[in-house]
Every structure is written in C-alpha cells, then in structure tokens.
Amino acid sequence: MKRTLLTTIAFILCVSTLRADEGMWIPALLQRNEAEMQAMGMKITADDIYSINHSSMKDAVVLFGGGCTGEIVSDQGLLLTNHHCGFDWIQKHSTIEHDYLTEGFWAMTMEEELPCPGLTAKMLRNMEDVTDKVLAGITDQTTDDERAQIIAENIKNIKESAQKDSQYKVTVESFYIGNQYFLMYNEIFDDVRMVGAPPSNIGKFGGDTDNWVWPRHTGDFSIFRIYKDGKPYKPDYHFTISLKGVEEGDFTFVFGYPARTNEYLPAVAVNQEANVIYPVVVDLRTQILNIYNKYQEKDPVVRLQYASKHAGLGNGWKKWMGVIEGIRNFKGIEKKQAFEEAYINWCQETRARMKYMHALRDLAPVYEEYEKYRMATTYLTEAGLSIELLEYAANFAKLAEVTKDTPQEEIDELIGELKEATTVFFKDYYQPIDEEVAITMLTAYSAAQPEDFRPEILNEIDRKFKGDVESYVDYLFGKTVLTSEEKVMAMLDNFKPSKAKKLAKDPAVVAVNSMMDFYVENVLAKSRECNEKINNLRRVYMEGQMKMIPEVYPEKRLYPDANFTLRVTYGKVGGFKPKDAVTYGYFTTLDGIMQKENPDIYDYVVTERLHELYDAKDYGRYADKDGSMHVAFIAGNHTTGGNSGSPILNANGELLGLNFDRTWEGTMSDLIYDPSICKNISVDIRYVLFLIDKYAGCTRLIDEMTIAE
C-alpha cells in the first residue's frame, strides 16, 4: 500500500504525541502534574513530595558526589545509592588485605563507618523562579553579546544578595535553554562515610556484558551515611521502605538528579549526533575494546588493571550503539522533520513568529559548519588521547617549558604533581595494549582527518615514516622515557631547568603537543564560536516551541531538558516488546542469577553464600508473595545519567527500589523519548534488604530503617 506524504506525516505526528510517561518535572512546579499523577494512581500530593513550608520528600534526596543520586532511609542519615556510584570509594578504601570490591564491606558498628574525604552530598532546600530578574534590561533590540553580559551581571547580583541572607549555597540555573531561571538554595554535606557494599559479583553482577540490558540481575547498591558536626545527620525526612513490591501497571515515580538531555534539538543536530559523531566514536571504541578484551582474557592481572578503563569506555560505547539503533528503528529523524514542518507552518501564520522560524532555519548551516570541528575534537579525544602514553605525556608539557627564570617553588610543585600522576599511571598500565591501541588509533586518525586539517605529527608520520604507523609506534615507544616508571622518577628527582629542552623533544611529548597545539590553534575558538551561535539560536527556537507546542499539540509534554537539577518523573511498571516476536517481563528473580551463573566467566560468578540462601529459600519477609526473591524491575520513568541511585517510589511515596540503568533499546530517550521502549531499570529494595540482612548479617542497618510490611 502506498501512503501519501501527508498521511505519513499525520501518522508520525499522531504517534509521537502519545507520550504518557515522558518528562522530567521541576519539583517546585509539581502542582501542575498532581492531577495526572493521581489519575495514574498516586495517593499522595505534590506538596508531600516538594514543599518549602514543611518537611517533604525532597529533604531526603541528595546529589551524591558529582553525578549520582542518593536517598536517606533512616532518621540517622543512612543513605542508599548504587554500587557503581559508590564504586570509586569502595575501591579507594580497598587494600591488598581488605579488597572491599571483591569481598564486600559491612561496617558492623558506627565506629567502623569509613570517612570519604572529598565526597559530598547536596540537598536542595528551596528554589524560586527568578526569570524576570535575570532577564531584566533585555529587549528585542538587545544583541546576543549584550544579552550575555546583562545576564551575567544580573545573575551575579541575584546571587550576591541571596547569599547574604542564606546559610545555604546559592546558584542560579538556566532552564529551557535560557528561557527560564531558578535560584537554588543547596545544603552541602561534606562528611559522608561508607557503611556497606556487597561484593562486586553481586553489586556488578553481569558486569559490562549485561550493562544497559534487560533482563538484568544486578544488586547495584551501596550504603553511606551523612554526618553533620561529627554526628549522624538527623534529616527532616527519610523514606519509608515498602516490602510489598510492584505489579504490572503500578504507579511509580523517580526523584533524582538527571544530568543532561537534549529533547528539543533540530533534526539536523539529531542526525549529526546519531549518524555522524556516534558512529565514529563507536567504531573507534570497538577497536580499542577489542584490544583490551584480547589481553584481558589472557591475563587476570591485566583484566583487573583494565577493568575500570574498560567499563568507562564501554558504558558510552554500548549506550550510543543503542541510541543509533533506536533513532533508526523509531524513525527519530523523520519525526523531528515532521514536527519542524508543522512548526514552520505555525511560524508563518504571523509576522511576529518569523524570528522563531529563522532561528530553526539558521541552525542548519551552523551545525554544518560545526561538524568539521566536532569531528576534529572527537578524533583528538577518542583516538589521539586514547593512547594512554600520550594522555600521560600531556601532563609533562608544562615541565618541558620550564626555563631558568621559572620560580623553584613552581617547579617543585609541578614535580610533586607529576610524581603522583606517575604512580597512578603505572599502577594500571600495560604497554603491549597501549602499543596496539596506538597503531590502530593513529591509523584511524590519519585516515579520517584531511591532510590540511590535522595535527602536524600525523603528516610527519607520512613524511618521515612513509606512512608506516607501526614503525612510528616502534620509534615512539622505543625512544620515549615515559614508558618506564623508574626512568621517569629518576628524571623528576634530578630535574633542572636546563633539562627542559630534552624533555620537550621526547617523542611522546612532541606527539601530544602537536595534537594539543593543533586543537588550540585551529579548533577551540571555532568550536566555541559555533557553540555560542547554536545556543543563541536554540534559545529562540526553544521559545518558539514553548509557544507552539501547547497551541498545536496540547497533549504533547513540555518540560525542560535535564540540567543536573532535582526532578520528578513518573510512569507505570510494565514489560514491553523490544522487537518483533520478543516480549520482556517486568521483573527478574534470583532464579535468573542461578541461570546466568558461570564460574568461569568473571561477570557471572555466584558466591557460595548466595547459593546457600537460595537453596534454603531463606528469604524471610523479603520474599515476594509468589515466594521468589525479586531482583530488579522495569517501569516507564523518563530517566538519564545522574538518575543512578535515585529512589523509585510507589503511590504512597514509599521506597520500592533504586534506579540504576535504562534498557538498551530505549537509550535514545536522551534525544527522543518513546514510551513503548524507553524504560528505567531498578533494583528491588527487597533484594537490597535481603542482602544486608540475610547475606551480610548487618541487621543494625535494618533496625534503623522504617519498614512498611
């Protein structure tokens, strides 16, 4: 059957407006969602979730460290977050004798809770709309440059006067790409201690293989405690824990700190992201990860050394593959294009809307111009600096510029830093991997970047080594001193300004300097310029969309992109159909862990202790009413990076679990949300409590929680 273009567009638009679960809502404005939330099953009020007049749930949700969420679950400041969010701290506290990553860690008394200097928890105390104050003095005639200046000045004044009267830390945050501003009052806690973590074969069960994937069986939690003035913190609110579990269709909401989404990009930008940039990154990372895998499989020491590096590269790699596929399968670009056609039609109805039309149209050429610079940056970071030797060598650039006039203190400080960096670097460095990575990455870099627009070092490989990357890499690793910890330390111990010149000639320093110089001289300023233009145009395009969407698509969801501020999102529990003839159930159980078990594959090892509990079916009050131990479940909450560790709550606002991931098929939700495939994954709180109680015997923690049976 042949469809006309118009009916196709009408069809696409109609589909894209069915977005029941979409949206990350500003808690201070949640009244607007209350009726819908209650209609979906919520039994509490928006005021119970966020209030500045009395204690509310917002007083129990924190930004954990730089990029995760945590929630308070006792009147003594006990905090839950994900294992992968606490990972660095678990690792930092581990020693040869006490490997907490492998063994797990349980503080059996409060005295055993481990301080984590540098770790903070940030709690939102109040937020108020200051849009009018921030935009005061701006008219239709204000140029973009003037606008930026006026806003900076206004924000400075708003912050200064707010800070004078507040015990909290104030910031001003932009929403809707500069169309709305909020003044935020945050309380910062800087004494957060580590209380417990399961062994990695529970907290990271399935590892990178299962990462982003449903069905999932990861016990992804760790436990911390907030202290204030040296004592356990007494919060204004803490979550009650529900042991009732979830059923298909149940209302849930997630309260946390989503980092970044881009739901209002023009089609050209989504296309650039999904069809130009991501494929390059995925391809480069595939090559690197293949090399890592090869050596990691051969040697358990290397497996450990590269575990964290592998997870870091692998997380984005896998997610972006999902995004590329999701956008293709769900016709993301076509939907955006259809929307833009309707938008242009709307703009053309009145003269006053012309500026909104121009904003959209002007974005295309800027993105086109930007592509070259984005690509150059992508190859620098993903290919050039993926060579560990070069990334490490970048640290030495400053020392290589030292002269006899450089103050000795400065040199000493630099040397101190470099010694530290050197110890860290060699702890997890395996040169054969790096040499192979260097060969593949330099080959790819050189092939992809035009001769007249790339770092000089690539042209030099062509000239001096006749394009033979392997022999260049031999020379690079053969001649540099930076592959030997001993030599580097000796060089740093005996450093004199007269030796700087020699260091500057080290081939690794030469190579990375060439890449960085090229970037600074030819890419950085242009990228900034494009970015500024894009931001200004996107602000106007956003303003247009904010006017057009309620008029033309009153049922479409309009909410600000994630910006590292506290948000509420809600949706129902339920499985989905990821592809033809495949259906996913909405929960997993301990049975699935036993099915996945494989003692020979690191990611799927099951401990003796878990076996014992499983064989005895010793689940106590944490068993589901079906008798099994539920491990994880999925629901239609619109989440993103940063939402890890967020509480997922039921209709009464009781804790059901911890959000920790999304399903692979729906990772495109950062760009385009589709409720049929975009699902969040949470670990069931009953599995968490079962592990704390039955597995670890850390019952003192259970005793301080408030539990609704």
Q: Under the criterion CB under 6 A, does residue 661 sit at the interface with ligand ASP?
A: yes
Q: C-beta of 681: minimal distance to ligand ASP in Å? A: 8
Helix axes 278-298, 354-382, angle to 10 degrees: 30
Q: C-beta of 462: minimal distance to ligand ASP in Å? A: 41
- Interface region with ligand ASP, contact rule CB under 6 A, candidates 103-111, 155-163, 523-531, 633-641: 633-641
Q: Restricting to residues 279-338, name those near ligand ARG by CB under 6 A.
A: 311, 315
Catalytic residue numbers, as ranges: 84, 220, 644
Q: C-beta of 428: minimal distance to ligand ARG in Å? A: 16
Instruction: Choose between 395 and 639: whose C-beta lies nearer to ligand ASP.
Output: 639
List the structure tokens of 281: 């990154």
Buried/exposed 224-257: b ≥16 CB within 10 Å, e otherwise? bbbbeeeebbebebbbebbbebbeeebbbbbbbb
DSSP symbols for 290-355? HHHHHHHHH-HHHHHHTHHHHHHHHHHHHHHHHHHHHHHHTTHHHHHHHHHHHHHHHHTT-GGGHH
**Positive or negative: CA dihedral 275, 277, 280, 283:** negative
DSSP symbols for 239-280? PPEE-S---TT-EEEEEE---B--TT--HHHHHIIIIIIHHH
Nearest C-alpha neighbor of 106 from the set 197, 199, 191: 197
Give the integer Cα–Cα distance in Å for 223 and 198.
9
Instruction: Choose between 440 and 640: whose C-beta lies nearer to ligand ASP.
Output: 640
Q: Under the criterion CB under 6 A, does residue 258 sit at the interface with ligand ARG?
A: no
- Interface region with ligand ARG, contact rule CB under 6 A, candidates 160-168, 203-211, 242-250, 320-328: 203-211
Q: Which amino acid is at 479?
A: K
- Interface region with ligand ASP, contact rule CB under 6 A, candidates 96-104, 324-332, 502-510, 634-642: 634-642
Q: Under the criterion CB under 6 A, does residue 212 sit at the interface with ligand ARG?
A: yes
Which one of 84, 217, 557, 596 is in contact with ligand ARG (CB under 6 A)? Answer: 84
Residues that bind ligand ARG (rule: CB under 6 A) add up to a total of 11
Instruction: Choose between 588 and 650: whose C-beta lies nearer to ligand ARG.
Output: 588
Q: C-beta of 207: minimal distance to ligand ARG in Å? A: 5
Q: Under the criterion CB under 6 A, does residue 91 sit at the interface with ligand ARG?
A: no
Burial class (CB in 10 A: 0-12, 13-18, 19+), 406: middle
Q: Under the criterion CB under 6 A, does residue 219 sit at the interface with ligand ARG?
A: no
Instruction: Choose between 310 and 557: whose C-beta lies nearer to ligand ARG.
Output: 310
Residue 604 partner contact from ligand ASP, ligand ARG, none using kind-dependent CB cut-offs of 5 to 8 Å: none
Give the integer Cα–Cα distance in Å for 699 and 631.
20
**Contacts with ligand ARG, 663-702, as mask; x by CB under 6 A:** ----------------------------------------
Which one of 201, 211, 422, 682 is in contact with ligand ARG (CB under 6 A)? Answer: 211
- Interface region with ligand ASP, contact rule CB under 6 A, candidates 171-179, 224-232, 636-644, 690-698: 636-644
**Contacts with ligand ARG, 637-666, as mask; x by CB under 6 A:** ----x--x----------------x-----
Q: Under the criterion CB under 6 A, does residue 252 sit at the interface with ligand ASP?
A: no
Instruction: Map 89-111 to HEC letters.
Output: HHHHCCCCCCCHHHHCEECCCHH
- What is the four-CA torsion angle of 298, 303, 306, 307, rounded to 10 degrees? 140
Residue with tokens 């492998």: 102
- Interface region with ligand ARG, contact rule CB under 6 A, candidates 202-210, 241-249, 286-294, 612-620: 202-210
Nearest C-alpha neighbor of 366 from the set 454, 263, 451, 266: 266
Q: Under the criterion CB under 6 A, does residue 641 sit at the interface with ligand ASP?
A: yes
Give the integer Cα–Cα distance in Å for 574 and 245.
13
Give the integer Cα–Cα distance in Å for 15 and 697.
50
Instruction: Choose between 107 and 683: whose C-beta lies nearer to ligand ARG.
Output: 683
Q: Fill in the DSSP letter of residue 412.
A: H
Give the integer Cα–Cα distance in Å for 210 and 256.
24
Nearest C-alpha neighbor of 61 from the set 52, 50, 53: 50
Residues that bind ligand ASP (CB under 6 A): 639-644, 660-662
Residues that bind ligand ARG (CB under 6 A): 84, 204, 207-208, 211-212, 311, 315, 641, 644, 661
